[in-house]
Amino acid sequence: MPRITQRTPDSNAFAALSGLPVVLRRIYAARGVRDKQDLELGLSGLLPFQNLKGINQAAYVLQAAVTENKRILIVGDFDADGATSSALAVRLLRSMGARYVDYLVPNRFEFGYGLTPEIVEVAKSRSPHLIVTVDNGISSLAGVTVAKQSGIKVLVTDHHLAGDELPRADAIVNPNQPGCEFAGKNTAGVGVIFYVMAALRNALRASNWFEKQDIPDPNIAEHLDLLALGTVADVVPLDRNNRILVEQGLRRIRAGKCCLGITALLQVSGKDPANLVASDLGFALGPRLNAAGRLEDMTLGIECLLADTPERASELARQLDSLNRSRRDIEADMKRQAMDKLAALKVEEHQIGMSLYDPDWHQGVIGILASRIKDRYHRPVIAFADAGNGDIKGSARSIKGFHIRDALDALAKKYPELLQKFGGHAMAAGLSIRKRDFAAFSSAFNLLASQQLTEEALADEIRTDGKLGEADMSMSLAQELRRAGPWGQGFPEPLFEGEFVILEQRLVGDKHLKLRLATTDSGQIVDAIAFFIDLEEWPNGAKKVKLVYRLEVNEFRGRQSLQLLAVYLQAVE
């Protein structure tokens, strides 16, 4: 049972936000908003690109490639951040007059992650003069070396944490590289390449390139839709800079000014662009885009984002939607297998750091599987799948208080023969080990997690924004909260708590619980829904329920109504 606690608003921030509704003041002041200036999300508030280490050199390298008609090859990652980064780079370089721009995204099952020596060999068949990595490259020491030895210049743009050694590229732009003073450490890969493109545009402007070539000075803000999608889908913390980027991208999408691929993805996911919020990017569009990289090849996703006719975009979006349905089926089957294994292991007693492996699991879905199990047991989890040649690949997901990339680094230093390679963030990482070392790795990982994680850290916690008064449980507040975002990682959507009288409860769709509730004081009636309910516990004969919920606007057949979306419920009687 999770521990439910209330967020504590900063009193000084609460006072500085006077003039806003009290509920919003409370919410913002508990999320680090210091004053009303923090709520201004215009493009003028973006951090300047000049503070990114290496960006002037990056602009110089790109400028030479564009003005000298060199062949530029974008090498991306196989997730939504990598796909949007690749599409944004290709679109903007072409708009700036680059004549020879192509992209290459490694097939995760053949080449693995990043600019590996093997993917450089594939790239060489296209005879590039310059390789630009997007959303990868900071750990590609060998790949960069091979490219340079082959006479290919390399520009690395990435946001992942750097190791002890950096690749010997012609330029590196990464807010998380040593010595970089850029404040936006949470910038996604698509944000990094966006900033690089801004620097390139400035350099080309200074040389009067656009006038000489008689091409329009490109408006890079036209690609903020891609930036918003990649940033939200990569689940990076929404600090103010990222919130500006996401909000501006959402505004473009709502106004119908997005690329044809995003429009098509909205159509197949049943989302209305006019009412789009950040969570729709993360839970509706992102998974469909990611499905290509998980099950087949992210080329399909990038082509969708580059499509220049509605027909082509719709065709590719339908293929992505079909892949996503297959991904869900595979994931559900893998989850059932994993839960059976965990039940036999008595997880709560023995496993703090959880390592799971099955030879039949799909490489493309182990990340989602690890995330689902992490959510269920509130433990750091690594799920492994076969990678061939006696190796297995793992996808790790962690919890607050356990930096998973640092944990893998510690294991690699203590057991130098155990990990073949690894990389990632605080909350997610990837790694490769030999199949024969799985038992040894599992034991070492569990021991490290046991040493670092306290009982308090292992107790799941739900943080709420307190209770809502009768007057606040309204459509007007629900609509105001929708506009008050963007909400997401690091800037969580408001959650409230309270007890309600149950008037009616029933299953819908065989796995969701529909509730009709009444407040305990005035008897105000409100609908609620809980998705993917535990069928062993609900429906039941309870008379009251304790809810942790979001206040939402439910839209059905053109009508809007107030609805509580339950994220946790517990029978009171």
Residue 340 in any domain: the answer is no
Residue 6 in any domain: the answer is no
Three-state DSSP class for residue 517: strand
- Based on the domain organization, do 419 and 435 belong to the same domain? yes
| Domain of 485, in residue numbers | 462-571
Q: What is the CATH number of the domain that holds 128?
A: 3.90.1640.30
The one-character DSSP state at 18 is: B
Three-state DSSP class for residue 406: helix
Helices 286-295 and 224-233 cross at an angle (nearest 10°) of: 70
| Whether pLDDT at 345 is above 70 | no
Contact 113, 92 (CB under 8 A): no
- Based on the domain organization, do 453 and 498 belong to the same domain? no
> How many domains, in total, are found in the chain?
3
- Based on the domain organization, do 148 and 271 belong to the same domain? yes
Last residue of some domain: 458, 483, 502?
458
Stated pTM of the model: 0.87
pLDDT digits (tens, 9 = 90+) for 123-174: 999 999 999 999 999 989 999 999 999 999 999 999 998 888 999 999 999 9
Last residue of some domain: 274, 301, 319?
319
- Based on the domain organization, do 444 and 468 belong to the same domain? no
| Whether pLDDT at 246 is above 70 | yes
- Based on the domain organization, do 197 and 271 belong to the same domain? yes
- Based on the domain organization, do 142 and 174 belong to the same domain? yes
- Based on the domain organization, do 200 and 55 belong to the same domain? yes
**Alpha-carbon dihedral sign for residues 4, 9, 11, 15:** negative
Closest CA to 134 of 72, 64, 183: 72
Contact 245, 46 (CB under 8 A): yes
Q: Which amino acid would we find at residue 256?
A: G
Residue 186 in any domain: the answer is yes
- Based on the domain organization, do 373 and 448 belong to the same domain? yes
Mean residue pLDDT of the chain comes to 91
pLDDT digits (tens, 9 = 90+) for 195-221: 999 999 999 999 999 999 999 999 999
Contact 102, 84 (CB under 8 A): no
For residue 230, what pLDDT band results from cuts at 50, 70 and 90? very high
Sheet of 419-424, strand order: 354-357, 381-388, 391-397, 428-434, 419-424
| Whether pLDDT at 558 is above 90 | no
Q: What is the CATH number of the domain that holds 361?
A: 3.10.310.30
Last residue of some domain: 427, 458, 489?
458
Residue 294's pLDDT is 77
User: How many CA atoms lie within 13 Å of 3's alpha carbon, on the beta-carbon side?
Assistant: 10
- Based on the domain organization, do 260 and 157 belong to the same domain? yes
